[in-house]
């Protein structure tokens, strides 16, 4: 068996699933999103959560609460960009979602706090 070919096919499948998840978020298609997330978990041996951060960011940008919640429940960590997206959109439910999943509101995040007028 050609290991390099197998790895490339595996990577392609993961990239395809990521693209489908992102499209499903934009289309507000939770059925497809949930199926893609399950597929991701089956393809990714270590469930590479850091690779799903752009998907979480998209969910935050588009204020797709249910998709963001599912990702956070699976251990995807909040990022400064995601929090910033929620702040800039004044998406209070998204910020509350981040809080429920471990975001430390007392942590100084530089630019975010500056934009909010907090020193």
What's the domain range around 36? 3-116
pTM score of the predicted model: 0.74
One pLDDT digit (tens) per residue for the chain, 119 residues: 443 444 345 566 778 888 889 999 999 999 999 988 888 887 766 556 678 888 888 898 888 999 999 998 888 877 777 777 788 888 888 888 888 888 777 766 655 556 555 54
Total structural domains within the chain: 1
| Angstrom distances, CA of residue 38 to CA of 60, 70, 108, 119 | 20, 11, 35, 42
Q: Coil, helix or strand for 107?
A: coil
Q: Of 49, 40, 105, whose CA–CA distance to 72 is shortest?
A: 49
**What is d(CA 68, CA 2) in angstroms, rounded to the nearest whole number?**
37
Q: Which residues contact 105 (CB under 8 A, 6 or more apart)?
A: 99
């Amino acid at each position: 068996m050609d290991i390099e070919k197998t790895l490339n096919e595996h990577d392609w499948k993961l990239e395809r699933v990521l693209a489908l998840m992102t499209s499903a978020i934009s289309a507000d298609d939770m059925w497809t999103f949930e199926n893609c997330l399950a597929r991701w978990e089956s393809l990714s041996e270590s469930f590479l959560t850091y690779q799903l951060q752009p998907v979480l960011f998209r969910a935050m940008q588009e204020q797709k609460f249910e998709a963001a919640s599912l990702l956070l429940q699976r251990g995807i960590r909040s990022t400064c960009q995601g929090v910033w997206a929620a702040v800039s959109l004044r998406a209070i439910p998204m910020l509350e979602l981040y809080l429920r999943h471990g975001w430390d509101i007392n942590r100084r995040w530089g630019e975010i706090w500056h934009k909010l007028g907090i020193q």
